[in-house]
Structure 1
Amino acid sequence: MWRDETGRSLADYPHPSVAVDVALLTVVDGTLHVALHRREGHATGELALPGTFVRIDERLADAALRALRDHLEVTGRSPEQLRVFDDPHRDDRGRVLAIAHVDLVDRGVLPTGTETAAVDTCPTLAFDHGAMVAAAAEHVRARHRGSPDPAGLLGAEFTLAELQGLHEAVAGGPLPKDTFRRHVLGDLEPTGGLRTGVVGKPARLFRRAGEPGQPPV
């Protein structure tokens, strides 16, 4: 066992517990929402993000997946590390470092009955999960300011109106039509198809430029 110059091992020093929490965002009725659950055990009944303590032999990514599976019954995702929340007083059980994760998913990924809340009017959550939700929302919004539908929620092809509707839902408000289209068109390719079966003139279909497996237009 390793010991330092004073003869102490790592176990002899005070050390924090490590937890992961996942802000799983989705769009519900044209608004950016976060998936929540009701806690059991400590802080029973409080709304919270799905989270868990990291096991001694576990990677952070695996702990995040376990939290999604155990609390929301969601599998098959790859949440991205967001940031560390390290306020010494963030958890009344003791010193806990929390590594927040974020993912943006289609509403259909969430099981029926999953409780969600709009990120901009989120109710009071356990611990500092409200701050995590705010940070996750800004992260997702920044990604959408940089590229069209970066999470691929619209599928392989979409109309410009559908794309703008998604970006407005994520942004939390309307976006000027002409400005939005000028901003995104450089990152899109027309598919040559039309969206039919809708009211009005059929709309042109687009895809994200450089999508793997897509032939050039």
Structure 2
Amino acid sequence: MKTSKDAPRASLLDYPRPSVAVDTAVLTVADGSLCVLLVRRGEDHRHGRWALPGSFLRERERLADAVLRSLREKAGISGRVPRQLHVFDDPARDDRGWVLSVAHVDVVPLAGLEGALKSDGVRLASVAEEPEVIAGLPYGHAEIVAKAVEWLQAAYVEAPDPGALLDEPFTLKELRDLHEVVAGTSLMRDTFRRFMEPQLAGTGQMSDGTRGRPSRLWVRAGRAE
């Protein structure tokens, strides 16, 4: 009589396996608008379409390495440390087959993207002003962008410019203007000041007043000279 010990052990190859992709939402602010970086696809499938920079995971490759490789090869971006955002596992998200996407997000000042944006195959899309472009992204990338924006907005509620999009030093008005762009709505001036000021350090200097009255200059707490 055969027992469970006699039954052949299942191999990992006996189970269905999805392909694994990494996709990165690179967010920045340009011309007063929250934007996401897109690349034009050079692959045969969906050739010429705009999409998030991404790649399939190679054999024995770490997720973080795949993300850095895809940013370097697809967008010409290097020296970044994107953070893992969410796993998108809808079996129907990619018409090529069963694909899991391990989405990542990075927040980059516009100056850090100047080199990448010199390429005709790289562009920025405004989240608020170009919704049709975002909605038309393939492979469920619109959902990734929405999740990345949601994450960024939550981060900017809690701390002053955590993505370091503003050059230091800055005025409180410049900081509030940036936070309003990220939030997509206006913010109460006094409430914003009361919440953010304790997380800032004054430089002891004033703005030059070229855009209105001189104002105190600030840096993020711990950065004052």
The two structures have a TM-score, normalised by structure 1, of 0.91
| Structure 1 residues without counterparts, runs of 5 or longer | none
Give the aligned length: 210
Tell me, yes or no, if structure 1 residue 53 matches structure 2 residue 56: yes
CA RMSD in angstroms, aligned pairs only: 1.7
Contact 2:209–2:215 (8 Å) recurs in 1: no
1:13 maps to which of 6, 15, 36? 15
Query: 1:6 deviation in Å?
Result: 3.2
1:112 aligns to what?
117
2:202 aligns to what?
190
The two structures have a TM-score, normalised by structure 2, of 0.88
User: What is the alpha-carbon distance in structure 1 between the residues aligned to residue 140 and residue 190 of structure 2?
Assistant: 39
Tell me, yes or no, if structure 1 residue 75 matches structure 2 residue 78: yes
1:29 aligns to what?
31
| Structure 2 residues without counterparts, runs of 5 or longer | 1-6
1:203 aligns to what?
215
2:185 aligns to what?
173
Identity of aligned residues (%): 50
Q: Which moved more, 1:24-33 or 1:107-116?
A: 107-116
* Structure 1 residues 154-192: Cα deviation after superposition (integer angstroms, max 9, x where no partner): 233211011111111111122121221112112111110
User: What is the alpha-carbon distance in structure 1 between the residues aligned to residue 168 and residue 77 of structure 2?
Assistant: 23
2:163 maps to which of 151, 176, 194? 151
Query: 1:12 deviation in Å?
Result: 2.5
1:94 aligns to what?
97
Contact 2:26–2:37 (8 Å) recurs in 1: yes
User: Match of 1:108, SS?
Assistant: helix
* Structure 1 residues 183-208: Cα deviation after superposition (integer angstroms, max 9, x where no partner): 21121111101121623322111111
2:87 aligns to what?
84
Contact 2:68–2:78 (8 Å) recurs in 1: yes
Structure 1 segments, 4+ long, off by >4 Å, are none
Contact 2:29–2:35 (8 Å) recurs in 1: yes
Amino acid at match of 2:117: T
User: Match of 1:36, SS?
Assistant: strand
* Structure 1 residues 16-59: Cα deviation after superposition (integer angstroms, max 9, x where no partner): 11110000001011110000011122111221100001112211
